[in-house]
Amino acid sequence: MRPLQLLVACFLSSVTPLFIDMSDAQNVTRTETAVFGGGCFWCLDAQFKLVPGVVKVTSGYAGGTTENPTYEQVCSDRTGHAEVIQVEFDPSKVSYQDLLHKFFYAHDPTTLNRQGADVGTQYRSIVLYQNDEQKKIAEKVKAEAQQDWSSPIVTEIVPLKRFYAAEDYHQDYFAKNPTQGYCQLVVSPKVKKFQQHLSAEKAQAGN
């Protein structure tokens, strides 16, 4: 091979991966996140994993003052944190507004600091916004959701300061422990009801 041909061959072999990488980068899905809580995060985690367009759901804590809280600390009702989920979603498939409409359906937003038998500020209904647009949407959807409830909605809408992921054993809890007592009695019925709601939405959208 002549020196010039060799030089060109070496050059092309070195730049080809660059073009491939740039192409791959363009195909990366741009996602956004939403953070909200309404009762035990095992319930919301299982419910929102069913939503088309949701990429990932992480159970955790937010809204309080204690840094790096543990589950035991949050359960003490002295950290100020609520049990929440962080939802990573593809906005081209599901909007933040849609997620909030589903959130207000997924739990009872009219009970202060409780969901069913779960009582404490860690179980409060809360939306934690990350920018002014999310705040505006959350306030709008809350007002719209009030039409579906006879009692006043008590959901807090506050800025997100920091989200702390919960311990590993809390992640995907219902999927990993479907026969556990609380999962059978509380989580499973909520998931089934939520799944029926999603199916009804899909059917209505198809009409």
Q: pLDDT by residue (tens digit) across 44-79?
A: 999 999 999 999 999 999 999 999 999 999 999 999
Tell me which amino acid residue 4 is.
Answer: L
Going by DSSP bridges, is the β-strand pair 82-89/126-129 parallel, antiparallel, or unpaired? unpaired
Q: How confident is the model at residue 27 (pLDDT cuts 50, 70, 90)?
A: low
What pLDDT, on the 0 to 100 scale, is given for residue 186?
97
Among 124, 111, 146, 154, CA closest to 62: 124
What mean pLDDT is reported for the chain? 90
What pLDDT, on the 0 to 100 scale, is given for residue 204?
84
User: What is the model's pTM?
Assistant: 0.85
Q: pLDDT by residue (tens digit) across 145-180?
A: 999 999 999 999 999 999 999 999 999 999 999 999
- CATH 3.40.50.300, applies to 28-201: no
C-alpha R_g of the chain: 22
What pLDDT, on the 0 to 100 scale, is given for residue 124?
98
Cα 175 from Cα 195, distance rounded (Å): 15
Q: Which of 10, 40, 75, 183 is catalytic?
A: 40
CA 35 to the chain's CA centroid: 6
Q: What is the layout of strands, in order, in the sheet containing 54-62?
A: 156-159, 126-129, 32-37, 82-89, 54-62, 164-165
Give catalytic status of residue 43 as yes or no: no
What is the b/e burial string over 22-53, where b = at least 16 CB atoms within 10 angstroms of the residue's CB? eeeeeeeeeebbbbbbbbbbbbbbbbbbebee
Q: pLDDT by residue (tens digit) across 96-122?
A: 999 999 999 999 999 999 999 999 999
Is the separation of the CB atoms in 84 and 61 below 8 Å? yes
